[in-house]
Structure 1
């Protein structure tokens, strides 16, 4: 029997406690966690493989490679750039999954406020496989609106991100 690693959730963002939750996962052969991690954590690569992100910036400096406690901003899903903060950053290592998460917020009126935690888990599996899991919990009226749409734009958008990430990681 095999037990899979899971996302580590702060209490405020536990799945099922927000207005929207999505979970996407891929398991593929022929690519390593280190290859995936490079393209996931280097924001200068994002727009090259994921068309639902724009206007990435680092208001306090740093970047383009993400790191623990780094502040950055980016636009996605038609929202103006969201203020983001890296809350977990652990590169994958032998027997240890990579873990990356950030909070992202949009201020404004109650109808505009958005508060999310987007988490990633990247791990090598036996047999030359890699597993990439991404999950997001969202709070706010815009999140509740997204949750009612069919097809679900968050679910489809994150799947496109995963597919592009794997394609990029396979580049020679």
Structure 2
């Protein structure tokens, strides 16, 4: 039996405690965690496979590749660019999943304030398969508004991100 890894959640963002939570996962044969990781951590690649992201900005000393403790910004779901901060970064290695998490915030009045933790887990599975799990907890009125929409934009948007990521890594 194979046990699959889980996201590491800070208490503030525990699933089910915020205003919006989504979880998306794919398991694909013929790909490795390293191949997927390359496209996930390189923000210069994002717009090539995910059309719901724009205005990506990474500090000059950070390159376009994410790493631990880097600050960057990006726009998504019609929000102005969110200020993001990588809070967990572990590249995949033999026996260990890749882990990437960032917080993202938008300041303003209650109707604009948004606080997010977006987490990724990328792991090799037996049989030449890779598992990519992404989960996000959002706190704030904009998050509650997104959660009430049907179909759910966050769930569908993150699935598009996963599908694009897998396509890019498969090339």
Same fold at TM > 0.5:
yes
| Match of residue 74 from structure 2 | 74
> What stretches of structure 1 move > 4 A for 4+ residues in a row?
none
Partners in 2 of 1:131 and 1:2 — Cα distance?
Answer: 12
Deviation, 1:3, is 1.6
Partners in 2 of 1:59 and 1:18 — Cα distance?
Answer: 29
Gaps of 5+ in 1: none
The alignment's TM-score, normalised by the length of structure 1, stands at 0.98
Partners in 2 of 1:12 and 1:54 — Cα distance?
Answer: 27
The alignment's TM-score, normalised by the length of structure 2, stands at 0.98
1:1-172 to structure 2, matched below 5 A, reads: 1-59=1-59, 61-171=61-171
Deviation, 1:61, is 3.9
Deviation, 1:59, is 4.5
Residues 69-94 of structure 1: CA distance to partner in whole angstroms, max 9, x if unpaired?
Answer: 00000000000000000000000000
Deviation, 1:62, is 1.4
Task: Please give the secondary structure, in 2, of the residue aligned with 1:12.
Answer: helix
Gaps of 5+ in 2: none
Deviation, 1:58, is 2.0
Residue correspondences, number = 171
Partners in 2 of 1:95 and 1:67 — Cα distance?
Answer: 20
CA RMSD of aligned residues (A): 0.8
Q: Does the 8 A contact of 1:60 with 1:71 survive in 2?
A: no
